[in-house]
Amino acid sequence: MKYNPQNTGPQNAQALKDVEPTVCYPINTLPKPQMALFENARKDMSLVDQVIIPPRDARCFTVPAGHFFRIVSVEGSQVGDLNLWNAQDLDEKFYSGKTRALHGTHISTGDQMWSSFPAMRPMATVTHDTLDWYGWDQYGGSVHDVIGTRCDPYTHDVLNGVDYHYCCHSNLTRALADERGVSLNEAERYVHDVLNVFMCTGFMPDTKQYFMKASPVRVGDFIELFAEIDLLGGLSACPGGDCSASHSSDAAQCYPLKVEIYKPKEGALKEWTPPALNGYSRSHGVE
């Protein structure tokens, strides 16, 4: 949000505003995800594991490369904050900013979740989304955003001067520390900006501030992703519940979420090739 203008524009101010925009990162040259192959593979797959994420808490889970995983609404309208790491190297983690620059502010079927430098490769591909019907509403809102960073105790302290220990950042930190047997301080440096699963968000038309509104997610809705590499995931059931009014408090009604992990039928993905490390990093000897 900016101050009211303090300066008078030049004579051609309107002409400058009328310049047509250009997409920063055209994606027509991106390698296309193998959606037809994934669609065929997901028709005959077996549930091999599931994890329940308690309300206002987080859990970690592992997904081998070549498997699918779903985040499922099981009891009520609930938003989740998702972190993804390379299971063998936590320094390679989901890069929400680059994913946003490539695919836009919200992702759905066919979009990919990209990893951080120097690897910068697809970590996961969205293969099904039962909320894809929502599209864009009259406020410019949509579902599954890569805008918001995650609710965290530091911003909550700045805005409200209150300690709150069940922000998604805190939940993810504790879950990763438990999963890897490390201290909270060590785990915290790996917790990163998230995919806001099921969250309905956008930007206010006047101030361009980030907004949230009641999620349209219903019991049984899910977003499904394909693991392009071996993944360690972390998912927090946000303390904001459906994020219709508040977060970082105990005021909202919250529900659990479920992660389901599926193995495709043997041979269903024989034509699939895991993504290599980024070409620039390979050419400069980065491994």
Per-residue pLDDT of the chain (287 residues; tens, 9 = 90+): 678 889 999 999 999 999 999 999 999 999 899 999 999 999 999 999 999 999 999 999 999 999 999 999 999 999 999 999 999 999 999 999 999 999 999 999 999 999 999 999 999 999 999 999 999 999 999 999 999 999 999 999 999 999 999 999 999 999 999 999 999 999 999 999 999 999 999 999 999 999 999 999 999 999 999 999 999 999 999 999 999 998 888 999 999 999 999 999 999 999 999 999 999 987 876 66
Residue 237 CA, chain-centre distance (Å), reads 13
The partner residues of 245 in beta bridges, in order of sequence, read none
- Cα 187-191-194 angle, rounded to 5 deg: 160
| pTM, two decimal places | 0.96
* Residue extents of the structural domains in the chain: 40-283
CA dist 269 and 38 (Å) reads 8
